[in-house]
Chains A and B, each alone.
Chain A
């Protein structure tokens, strides 16, 4: 696999990750990411064409649950942790419709 050049659009990454960074923070994190990725990207040179990926350390399949109802949480206990609530709801600032 040919190495991917490390070219980080840090502003886009921060937006995707929903972290509101200042310009100075972006620059600092961008530089640090570059160093780490440079190191990590060494594995791109390894011959892995015939190697399957491993997502799970132990080979397991079909872990399901039966379609049965179990206990729900107490609404007051849950809402007591909310930064803001209104009646039985969680309240948040307005947002755009999903597109």
Chain B
């Protein structure tokens, strides 16, 4: 009997608001420990929460982007559990009246497109951060833990999917698409390495074709798309092994260990499920009327899926369309280059190739480079007009990225413009032929391999500024 996996994903997205969810402390990663704290996010006696309106609007926007219904009246609840990095020992979260419900997300994989249901999107607050002391860093060996509350109270959106995912690849694609939407909305940095996007998954296996759900295992601690895919692949195989051996899967929470590449049974907290939710009495209901909802809907930017199909229609291949559409910075330069008259595929090639490589190498953001859409359009046009050779164009782009100015300016400053003067080219070819009489004779005798030799000589002599196509024509004519 073969089994299929049933996967649902909970994604926590840290919002990049200026201030925290319920207080005015700055949201600022990398600050000194325990400096972004106040009575509210430190759970001091007497402090009261006041919700950040921006965080609520952004959550509604994400809900709208996911096709959710927006609750006309929504409530915050207290989720009660004791934990050292949770200052009030309850988390202000949402329970039965979340801001957004019943949406969906279209996910593309090599197998095709599937529609994944979104159960809900709600808003809550993040916890502080704890570090255990001790040689091995393992908890049971630790003698103490240190607490930093800078992260405490940062707004977190929680996006819960229906158990509609079937494979680790699909799960990864889901995470990727969600990340792209969050980036398009500009509500989070969605930096996986900083933990601003975190995944938990529910995984169960059932006999192929069955409608029943198997025993559910919760897998936690996946902080990248890659570890999401790896953890799910591991967990599915683990459960399959148990079931095929005639065993039973235990209902439990397991933690993904990135280094070991496996999920480990978590020592479960006692009565962890009894969160004693009740409406947060320090806060009042959130009412979003249809007018407000429509206003927020009208302000939504173009979403990644729509942008991708528009790019496909412009002639980009699927991969290029995805890459350009995903990053806001790439897309912005791309759109501007198109307005500047650039050929879409050529502009996309530059962006997904050289530009992305440069950004990655230098660790900079697009905005920190000197490249604009107009620059890209000019570069494409110069190559098309044979004003730049391919090699020279790369050097020009490097200069533009470094902020040396427009492509034409860089090409001139660095003396990289292709030699347009036919006479000069002819002279260079004749010089090369004259300097190598033996090779010239063999070429004249029909040895075509020597064309490349002479092109190389001419390119060297002209510092790469000659048009290699025209040079080889001239060599053949004059040999």
Query: Which of A27-35, A41-49, A84-92 contacts its partner?
Result: A84-92
Which of chain A's residues have a CB closer than 8 A to the CB of B143?
94
In the bound complex, do residue A72 and residue B26 qualify as a contact, i.e. CB atoms below 8 Å apart? Answer: yes
In the bound complex, do residue B144 and residue A92 qualify as a contact, i.e. CB atoms below 8 Å apart? Answer: yes
Partner of B39, one of A18, A65, A73, A92: A73
Whether a CB of chain A sits under 8 angstroms from the CB of B427 is no
Whether a CB of chain A sits under 8 angstroms from the CB of B130 is yes
How close is A15's CB to chain B, nearest CB, in angstroms?
Answer: 6
In the bound complex, do residue A98 and residue B269 qualify as a contact, i.e. CB atoms below 8 Å apart? Answer: yes
Which of chain B's residues have a CB closer than 8 A to the CB of A99?
220, 253, 255, 266-269, 272
The complex places the Cα of A60 from the Cα of B284 at a distance, in Å, of 6
How close is B112's CB to chain A, nearest CB, in angstroms?
Answer: 36
How close is B82's CB to chain A, nearest CB, in angstroms?
Answer: 5
Partner of A95, one of B34, B51, B54, B145: B145
The complex places the Cα of A72 from the Cα of B50 at a distance, in Å, of 16
Whether a CB of chain A sits under 8 angstroms from the CB of B478 is no
Whether a CB of chain B sits under 8 angstroms from the CB of A22 is no
Which of chain B's residues have a CB closer than 8 A to the CB of A80?
none
How close is B175's CB to chain A, nearest CB, in angstroms?
Answer: 21
Which of chain A's residues have a CB closer than 8 A to the CB of B145?
91-95
User: Main SS of chain B's interface residues?
Assistant: loop
Whether a CB of chain A sits under 8 angstroms from the CB of B388 is no
In the bound complex, do residue A65 and residue B50 qualify as a contact, i.e. CB atoms below 8 Å apart? Answer: yes
Whether a CB of chain B sits under 8 angstroms from the CB of A78 is yes
Query: Which of B1-9, B17-25, B236-244, B442-450 contacts its partner?
Result: B17-25
In the bound complex, do residue B146 and residue A73 qualify as a contact, i.e. CB atoms below 8 Å apart? Answer: no
How close is B137's CB to chain A, nearest CB, in angstroms?
Answer: 11
Whether a CB of chain B sits under 8 angstroms from the CB of A39 is no
Given A65-B24, A88-B32, A99-B272, decide whether A73 and B51 contact each other with a Cβ distance below 8 A. Answer: no
The complex places the Cα of A69 from the Cα of B24 at a distance, in Å, of 5
Partner of A16, one of B19, B53, B276: B276
Count A interface residues, CB 8 Å. 37
Partner of A94, one of B35, B139, B285: B139
User: Main SS of chain A's interface residues?
Assistant: loop
Within 8 A of B (CB), among A1-30: 12, 15-16, 18
Which of chain B's residues have a CB closer than 8 A to the CB of A65?
24, 50-53
Within 8 A of A (CB), among B262-296: 266-272, 274, 276, 279, 281, 283-287
Which of chain B's residues have a CB closer than 8 A to the CB of A79?
34
Given A69-B25, A97-B255, decide whether A91 and B144 contact each other with a Cβ distance below 8 A. Answer: yes
Which of chain A's residues have a CB closer than 8 A to the CB of B80?
16
Whether a CB of chain A sits under 8 angstroms from the CB of B37 is yes
Partner of B37, one of A62, A69, A73, A91: A73
Whether a CB of chain A sits under 8 angstroms from the CB of B132 is yes
Within 8 A of A (CB), among B28-70: 32-39, 42, 50-56
Which single residue of chain A is at the shortest CB-CB distance from B274? Answer: A16
Whether a CB of chain B sits under 8 angstroms from the CB of A36 is no
The complex places the Cα of A38 from the Cα of B397 at a distance, in Å, of 80
In the bound complex, do residue A88 and residue B33 qualify as a contact, i.e. CB atoms below 8 Å apart? Answer: yes
Which of chain A's residues have a CB closer than 8 A to the CB of B453?
none
Which of chain A's residues have a CB closer than 8 A to the CB of B140?
94
Partner of A72, one of B25, B132, B269, B270: B25
Q: Which residues of B contact A (CB under 8 A)?
A: 17-19, 23-26, 32-39, 42, 50-56, 73, 75, 80, 82-84, 89, 130-132, 134, 139-140, 142-149, 220, 253, 255, 266-272, 274, 276, 279, 281, 283-287
Pick 24 A–B contacts, CB within 8 A, sort by A: A18-B82, A62-B284, A63-B50, A64-B52, A64-B56, A65-B51, A67-B17, A67-B19, A68-B24, A70-B25, A71-B24, A71-B38, A72-B35, A75-B32, A78-B42, A86-B146, A89-B33, A89-B34, A92-B145, A94-B143, A95-B139, A97-B139, A97-B266, A98-B83
Q: Which residues of A contact B (CB under 8 A)?
A: 12, 15-16, 18, 55-56, 60-73, 75, 78-79, 86-99
CB-CB nearest 4 A-B residue pairs:
A70-B24, A67-B54, A89-B146, A64-B53
> Assuming A67-B17, A96-B269, A98-B83, what are 10 further A-B pairs, CB within 8 angstroms?
A62-B285, A63-B283, A64-B56, A65-B24, A66-B53, A69-B26, A79-B34, A91-B146, A94-B132, A94-B139
